[in-house]
């Protein structure tokens, strides 16, 4: 990728591009950001459709909010 990372001062760590598969064209030897093939919009829209699902759920539970000052309430059983 052009980025050199040094470990312990002299060793360099990098990627072996012979083992890397492009996410865009699925060919070996480069990353998707280096791909010369136009971006694959089919995969992008299909992935968005599968990850973004909206479900309508009926909420049958009732919620009540009550406020009181506690005067005259017996807290001993709590």
Is there a domain that residue 43 lies in?
no
In this structure, is residue 76 part of a structural domain?
no
Q: Within a domain: residue 62?
A: no
Tens digits of per-residue pLDDT, 7-16? 666 656 667 7
User: Considering the domain boundaries, does residue 21 fall inside one?
Assistant: yes
Q: Indicate the average pLDDT of the chain.
A: 74
Residue 57 lies in a domain: no
The pLDDT value recorded for residue 56 is 76
Q: What is the pLDDT of residues 32-65, one digit of tens each?
A: 889 998 886 665 555 556 566 677 777 777 778 8
Q: For the chain, how many structural domains are there in total? A: 1
Burial 65-75 (b: 16+ CB within 10 A, else e): eeeeeeeeeee
| Full residue range of the structural domain in which residue 28 is found | 1-36
Contact criterion met (CB below 8 Å) for 29 and 18? yes
Dihedral (CA of 64, 69, 72, 75) sign: positive
Whether 52 is covered by a domain: the verdict is no
């Amino acid at each position: 990728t052009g980025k050199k990372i040094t470990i312990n001062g002299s060793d360099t760590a990098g990627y072996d591009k012979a083992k890397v598969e492009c996410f865009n064209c699925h060919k070996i030897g480069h990353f998707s950001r280096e791909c010369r093939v136009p971006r694959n919009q089919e995969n992008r829209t299909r992935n968005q459709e599968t990850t973004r699902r909206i479900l309508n759920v009926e909420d049958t539970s009732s919620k009540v909010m009550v406020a009181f000052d506690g005067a005259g309430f017996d807290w001993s059983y709590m």
